[in-house]
């Protein structure tokens, strides 16, 4: 009996081969991967701008936020400040720089804000780069290998006010002017410039900036009475992050006043009315509040001082009987000033 056999065939690359012929495996080359690199620079040292000993950690975008890329360990910059992450998969990335030498600020991010990016914009100053997806295996053009992505950063050194807090001198009473000096700094305060801000501190310890009080001196007002006063000194220098120091808080008290009374004429006729001028000092804080003139212990006339009067007011007494009368002026005080009473002066009324 004659047996006929049939061969099954498959087509590979245009050739017909029997099924008994094994197919050679296709070579699986690794896909090209990306690189994120850059330099951490020290702006305070133009002669040696590399920031040594700064830790660079790669962060990737997970669809909602940047998170640490666990595929890459943090790197510590060399003397030239350089870092390099290779084998980076496609996606959006940023880099967090952390100080390990107690020389620079604790954390710095690339980009104009200095903060962790919150989106995937790769615009200039965003601090974000995109590693593109690799092209197909068959493409042998240079574009198949993603270009290195560059993220540079300038790390700022840290100012310190641990030497001594800013110092405030002057009497803590309304109308008096306080003066502030920076205290002890590293680097020395003589190499820094300072921005000043005076603050009121309430009984709960809440500090609030006083609008417009941005000089190294400040004249106390009635608004500070019963509250604390302190100053914030913010040191600044090129290549350093601004740092603030605070003076001790001290309570502001009312100032003492002095009241005087002067008669226009010490002797008048019974048909006339006496005229007096009452003056309340100090003039450093224009007094407000009530002024009363008493004659022989009885209230005869009163008025309210206005700031524009600078503590001086003229008053007209009622007609008085013949004889010698004791005249006294009493200032009732205000939020910023304690009250006071003048010395007695005498007015003589004749026929």
pLDDT of residue 48: 77
Q: Does some domain include residue 265? A: yes
Positive or negative: CA dihedral 103, 109, 112, 116: negative
Q: Among 309, 154, 166, 307, which Cα is nearest to 240's?
A: 154
Whether residues 184 and 88 share a domain: the answer is no
278 & 216 share domain? no
The answer as to whether 28 is a domain residue is no
Q: Which of 205, 225, 251 is the last residue of a domain?
A: 251
* Ordered DSSP codes for 144-156: GSPPPEE--EEEP
Count of structural domains, the chain: 3
Domain containing 94 equals: 34-134+144-156
Q: Are residues 236 and 280 in the same domain?
A: no
pLDDT tens readout for residues 142-195: 455 678 999 999 999 989 988 899 999 999 998 899 999 999 999 999 999 999
Q: What values do phi and psi take at 262, rounded to 5? A: -135, 130
Average pLDDT rounded to a whole number, residues 305-311: 90
Residue 189: CATH number of its domain: 2.60.40.2700
- Say what percent of the chain tops pLDDT 70: 87
Residue 20 lies in a domain: no
Asked whether residue 231 falls in the same domain as residue 321, the answer is no
Give 16-41 pLDDT, tens digit per residue. Answer: 444 444 444 444 444 558 999 999 99
Check residue 235 and give its pLDDT.
Answer: 96
pTM for this predicted structure: 0.68
Whole-number pLDDT of residue 135 = 67
Q: Pick the last residue of a domain from 207, 233, 251.
A: 251
CATH code of the domain covering residue 102: 2.60.40.10
Long-range Cβ contact pairs of 112-116 (< 8 A, separation 24 or more): 116/59, 116/66
Q: Are residues 239 and 298 in the same domain?
A: no
User: Does residue 182 sit in the same domain as residue 123?
Assistant: no
- For residue 4, count other CB atoms closer than 10 A to its CB: 4
Q: Is residue 41 domain-shared with residue 91, that is, in the same domain?
A: yes
Residue 63 shares a structural domain with residue 150: yes
Q: Both 284 and 244 in a single domain?
A: no
Residues 292 and 340 in one domain: yes
Together in a domain, 41 and 117: yes
Q: Write the DSSP string, 163-211.
A: EE--EEES--BTTPEEEEE--EEES-GGG-EEEEEEEEE-TT--EEEPT
Q: What are phi and psi of 159, to 5 degrees?
A: -80, 155
Instruction: With respect to residue 8, please indicate whether it lies within any of the assigned structural domains.
Output: no
Q: What 3-state DSSP class applies to 85?
A: strand
| Together in a domain, 84 and 174 | no
**Among candidate residues 232, 251, 270, the one where a domain is terminated:** 251
């Amino acid at each position: 009996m004659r047996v006929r056999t049939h061969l099954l065939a498959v087509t590979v690359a245009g050739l017909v081969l029997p099924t008994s012929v094994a197919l050679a495996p296709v070579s699986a080359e690794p896909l090209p991967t990306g690189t994120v690199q850059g330099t951490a620079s020290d702006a305070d040292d133009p002669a040696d701008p590399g920031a040594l000993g700064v830790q660079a950690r790669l962060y990737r975008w997970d669809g909602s936020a940047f998170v640490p890329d666990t595929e890459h360990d943090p790197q510590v910059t060399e003397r030239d400040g350089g870092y390099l992450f290779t084998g980076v998969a496609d996606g959006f990335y940023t880099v967090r720089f952390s100080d390990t030498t107690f020389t620079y600020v604790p954390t710095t991010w690339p980009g104009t804000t200095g903060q962790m990016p919150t989106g995937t914009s790769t615009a200039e100053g965003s601090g974000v780069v995109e590693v593109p997806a690799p092209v197909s295996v068959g493409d042998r053009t240079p574009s198949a290998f993603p270009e290195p992505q560059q993220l540079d950063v300038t790390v700022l050194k840290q100012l310190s006010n641990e030497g001594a807090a800013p110092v405030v001198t002057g009497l803590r009473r309304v109308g008096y002017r306080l003066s502030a000096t920076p205290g002890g700094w590293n680097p020395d305060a003589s190499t820094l410039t300072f921005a000043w801000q005076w603050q009121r501190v309430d009984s709960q310890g809440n500090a609030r900036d006083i609008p417009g009080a941005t000089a190294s001196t400040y004249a106390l007002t009635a608004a500070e009475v019963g509250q604390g006063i302190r100053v914030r000194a913010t040191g600044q220098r090129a290549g350093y992050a601004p740092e603030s120091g605070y003076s001790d808080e001290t309570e502001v008290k009312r100032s003492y006043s002095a009241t005087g009374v002067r008669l226009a004429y010490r002797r008048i006729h019974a048909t006339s009315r006496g005229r007096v001028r009452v003056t309340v000092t100090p003039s450093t804080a224009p007094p407000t509040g009530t002024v009363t003139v008493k004659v022989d212990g009885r209230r005869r006339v009163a008025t309210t001082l206005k700031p524009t009067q600078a503590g001086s007011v003229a008053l007209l007494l009622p007609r008085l009987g013949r004889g010698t009368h004791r005249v006294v002026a009493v200032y009732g005080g205000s939020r910023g000033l304690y009250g006071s009473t003048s010395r007695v002066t005498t007015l003589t009324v004749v026929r």
